[in-house]
Amino acid sequence: MSLSPHTVLVTLRDRYDATEEPVAPDTVAYLCGESPADVIRVLRSLCGTEFVVETDDGYRPTITAREFLRLNVELEDVVAVDVVDG
């Protein structure tokens, strides 16, 4: 079974909220029961979608990720959004 980006994002957000500190990939891997290499791959992918930001001390969720998670959809779900130029 492949590692779900949604699981990584929720785990990262929950740990970040509990500690108010960036979260190391090893910590996310431990909490998800997955290998650090797999978690790092997913975290880098989430950085590309601007859901996660890498810092010197680890990773943290972005406001965009928090807004997305409030929609109660999974990253694997199909979601249609209306993009409006400012």
How deeply is 65 buried, as exposed, middle or buried, from its count of CB atoms within 10 A (0-12, 13-18, 19+)? Answer: buried
The full DSSP string for the chain is -PPPHHHHHHHHHHHHHHHSS-B-HHHHHHHHTS-HHHHHHHHHHHHHTTSEEEETTEEEE-HHHHHHHHTT--TTS---------
pLDDT above 70 covers a percentage of the chain that reads 85
The domains located in the chain, with CATH, are 5-70 (1.10.10.10)
Give the pLDDT confidence of 17-26 residue by residue, as tens digits.
Answer: 999 999 999 9
pLDDT above 90 covers a percentage of the chain that reads 69
